[in-house]
């Protein structure tokens, strides 16, 4: 350990390991200045991040996968400085504040009148605010959300439905107070005037901004048929919705419309709780457009073992009620399903109505187009999260909308850097997961339009790796019990390297560098 020239020095440098102890692509938990730090070696370079997954709180050092760095749920520590002697120099104050409060380490300077306004209280807005403070932005940050909760983990809602709202908060109020991030709850944007740089809210109040992030996300699409407004017709959008669905389904005949991630996860959760669970899908198989029919068939078989019934290639034509409550669900095929509860998970609609009449451009589906810096067509107006339509690097800059947790975080960070004139392009590879009956299927890439799938392992063995092929190249991968292959492929795709169809078909997968 190098002696510190001054006990009050803001930085501390320590030798943390021998070069032989950390191979390329590996990570190691080390102690620097009495703080736990995760040392990562990637591409011959060393970097340091906080050793805690801010999504689920697990130590990142447990993720000892070769070939890449961990994927923390929210931004980790600013990259540390280290040399070939494997010494690590970090800012003591930064590490300390990160351990106690999260990732942001700046505060507001009352003398700075510049204001960043964040409309929306999801992960994109949260990461944007945190990144601004990381980058020592000292102006005012105002986060406005129509929710009555601080930013929370929405991915949990369909997986663990009977949870306390406080248990899924991403940050406690003390965090926002410490870093001078104002959070206005139960407040909804009504209109935007980009010429006066003013947002007006539904309660009649208004707020001026210097820079604006639009991140109001999407809402669940409603069922359009007779009886859709009956009691016990639910859509899953908030923790309150999740709890209502949980209790209303206990011991009841439950019908779920939709076989994508929300619908299938709710069906999985309800097994053993509801009296019966029936799922209605518009395609031949669940996840047909994303994971493909083969994996879709497997997931259907998994749930069928728990007595979940499926009506595929069908849709709801009418919901019949009795005393104002759901009694039966009538399908276009003519089937009539008994139902005490009907849960609707048939897609989303962007919350962009308040932008109508403004100069901010919307596409044909009412999403907001942005460039790789999350900039809209209006200066100082940015958009991130589920309602952003952006150029995806790995898809040859095709404009896409991807409503995933990881992508929203990446976009929030890029937006913050752009606000600080640190032009950093969005280059993230989509990465998400779904949990069915305790089995986690992970997915990375963008497989839209894939023409074939190469399968490693066996679906019936519940251990497989599926490569999605388009134009003789791998564009996406999905897997079950094949970790850390999905993260490895994501890292390769993010680097811009091509994984050929031949590589996917080969019996030699050494290029994946699996342990």
Q: How confident is the model over 128-163, as pLDDT tens digits?
A: 999 999 999 999 999 999 999 999 999 999 999 999
The residue behind tokens 């965090």 is: 175
Q: What percent of the chain has pLDDT over 90?
A: 74
Q: Which pLDDT score, from 0 to 100, does residue 447 have?
A: 94
- Give the pLDDT confidence of 314-350 residue by residue, as tens digits: 999 999 999 999 999 999 999 999 999 999 999 999 9
- The answer on pLDDT for 43 being more than 50 is no
Q: Where are the beta strands (DSSP E) in 204-275?
A: 206-208, 211-214, 218-220, 233-235, 253-257
42-51, 403-412, 421-430, 459-468: range with lowest mean pLDDT: 42-51
Q: Say how far apart CA 287 and CA 318 lie, in whole Å.
A: 24
pLDDT of residue 513: 83
Domains within the chain, CATH numbers bracketed: 11-101 (2.102.10.10), 115-219+350-419 (3.50.50.60), 233-346 (3.50.50.60), 438-512 (3.30.390.30)
Q: Which helix (H) or strand (E) holds 132?
A: helix 123-134
pLDDT per residue as tens digits for the range 426-477: 999 999 999 999 999 999 999 999 999 999 999 999 999 999 999 999 999 9
64: pLDDT confidence band, cut at 50, 70 and 90?
Answer: very low
* CA–CA separation, 19 and 83 (whole Å): 11
Order of strands, sheet of 398-400, starting from the edge strand that comes earlier in the sequence: 368-369, 388-392, 398-400
What Rg value do the Cα atoms of the chain yield, rounded?
24
What confidence tier does 514 reach under pLDDT thresholds 50, 70, 90?
A: confident
Q: What share of the chain is helix, strand, coil (3-state, %, to 5)?
A: 25, 30, 45
Estimate to the nearest angstrom the gap between the alpha carbon of 349 and the chain centroid. 17
Using the predicted structure, report yes or no on whether residue 68 has a pLDDT greater than 70: no
Integer distance in angstroms from the first to the last C-alpha of the chain?
Answer: 32
The pLDDT value recorded for residue 8 is: 45
- Which of these, 9, 16, 8, 22, lies nearest to 35 by C-alpha position? 16
Question: Hey, CA dihedral for 58, 153, 220, 194, is it positive or negative?
Answer: negative
3-state secondary structure of 176: helix
Going by pLDDT thresholds of 50, 70 and 90, the confidence category of residue 421 is very high
């Amino acid at each position: 350990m190098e002696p510190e020239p001054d006990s009050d020095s803001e930085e501390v440098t320590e030798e943390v390991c021998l070069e032989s102890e950390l191979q390329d692509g590996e990570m190691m938990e080390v102690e620097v200045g009495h703080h736990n730090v995760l040392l990562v070696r990637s591409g011959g370079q060393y970097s340091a991040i906080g050793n805690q997954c801010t999504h689920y709180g697990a130590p990142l050092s447990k993720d000892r996968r070769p070939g890449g760095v961990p994927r923390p749920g929210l931004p980790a520590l600013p990259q540390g400085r280290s040399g070939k002697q494997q010494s690590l120099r970090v800012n003591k104050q930064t590490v300390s504040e990160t351990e106690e409060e999260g990732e942001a380490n700046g505060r507001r300077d009352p003398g700075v009148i510049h204001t960043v306004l964040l409309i929306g209280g999801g992960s994109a807005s949260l990461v944007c605010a945190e990144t601004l403070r990381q980058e020592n932005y000292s102006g005012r940050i105002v986060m406005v959300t129509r929710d009555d909760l601080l930013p929370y983990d929405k991915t949990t809602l369909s997986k663990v439905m009977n949870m306390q709202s406080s248990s899924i908060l991403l940050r406690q109020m003390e965090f926002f107070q410490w870093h001078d991030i104002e959070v206005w709850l139960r407040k909804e944007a009504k209109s935007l005037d980009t010429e006066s740089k003013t947002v007006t809210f539904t309660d009649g109040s208004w707020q001026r901004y210097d820079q604006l992030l639009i991140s109001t996300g999407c809402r669940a699409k409603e069922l359009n048929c007779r009886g859709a407004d009956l009691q016990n017709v639910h859509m899953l959008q908030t923790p309150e919705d999740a709890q209502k669905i949980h209790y209303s389904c206990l011991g009841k005949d439950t019908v779920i419309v939709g076989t994508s991630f929300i619908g299938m996860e709710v069906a999985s959760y309800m097994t053993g709780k509801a009296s019966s669970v029936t799922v209605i899908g518009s395609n031949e198989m669940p996840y047909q457009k994303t994971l493909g029919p083969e994996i879709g068939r497997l997931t259907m078989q998994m749930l069928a073992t728990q007595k979940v019934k499926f009506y595929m290639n069908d849709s709801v034509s009418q919901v019949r009620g009795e005393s104002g409550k759901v009694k039966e669900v009538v399908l276009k095929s003519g089937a009539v399903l008994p139902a005490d509860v009907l849960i609707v998970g048939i897609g989303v609609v962007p919350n962009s109505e308040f932008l109508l009449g403004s100069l901010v451009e919307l596409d044909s589906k009412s999403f907001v187009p942005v460039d790789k810096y999350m900039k809209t067509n209006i200066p100082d107006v940015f958009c991130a999260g589920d309602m952003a339509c952006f150029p995806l690097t790995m898809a040859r800059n095709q404009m896409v909308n991807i409503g995933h947790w990881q992508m929203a975080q990446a976009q929030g960070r890029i937006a913050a850097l752009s606000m600080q004139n640190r032009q950093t392009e969005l280059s993230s590879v989509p990465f998400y997961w779904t949990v069915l009956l305790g089995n986690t299927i992970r997915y990375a890439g963008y497989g839209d339009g894939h023409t074939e799938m190469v399968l490693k392992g066996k679906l019936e063995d519940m251990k497989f790796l599926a490569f999605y092929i388009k134009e003789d190249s791998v564009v996406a991968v999905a897997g079950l019990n094949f970790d850390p292959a999905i993260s490895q492929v994501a890292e390769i795709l993010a680097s811009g390297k091509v994984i050929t169809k031949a590589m996917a078909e080969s019996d030699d997968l050494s290029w994946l560098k699996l342990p």
